[in-house]
Amino acid sequence: MTEAIWFFAGALCFQLLGKVFSYVQLVGFTMETGLCILRICATIIHDVAFMQTLKYKQLQDSGVKDKDIQLIKDIDEETINNWKNSVILKFKQTLPRAVRGAFAFNDWSGAMKMLDSRLKRGR
């Protein structure tokens, strides 16, 4: 009888440890994938900012008034901010519930702070 109890206790421990290790592996994989996605998004924003700088210089060189350029800058900034918020919202919504808490941010600046801290820790 004692052997049967030890057998089932061992089987139960094996199942529990298997679930825990599987969850830890899932969280690690999701974190790496999520950080890669955030890095891609950050790169896109940097590239867009560079293109915007070129656009504003071209507008200025072509004789567009400063107030018109400022209006275009304001529209571009609002558009970029909306895109950033949309990306973070969709990012958080598509995560599995089990790992959603691992990404403790709700906005773009929080996501970039997390990305920076993870990249610094990884080096």
pLDDT score for 72: 95
Domain range summary for the chain, segments of one domain joined by +: 35-122
pLDDT score for 100: 83
Distance of alpha carbon 22 from alpha carbon 35, whole angstroms: 20
pTM recorded for the entire structure:
0.79
Distance of alpha carbon 51 from alpha carbon 23, whole angstroms: 42
pLDDT score for 11: 86
First to last CA, the chain: 54
> Measuring CA to CA, which residue among 103, 100, 107, 105 is closest to residue 82?
107
pLDDT score for 29: 87
Cβ within 8 Å of residue 99, ≥6 positions away: 26, 27, 30, 31
pLDDT score for 84: 96
pLDDT score for 123: 56
Distances 109 to 2, 30, 42, 59 between C-alpha atoms, Å? 58, 20, 11, 29
Distances 40 to 15, 24, 84, 85 between C-alpha atoms, Å? 37, 24, 12, 15
Distance of alpha carbon 92 from alpha carbon 106, whole angstroms: 8
Q: Which helix (H) or strand (E) holds 123?
A: none
Quick one: residue 55, left, alpha or beta (phi over 0 = left, psi -120 to 50 = alpha)?
alpha
- What is the mean pLDDT of each successive set of 10 residues along the chain, which is 123 residues long? 84 89 85 92 96 96 93 96 95 86 90 90 70
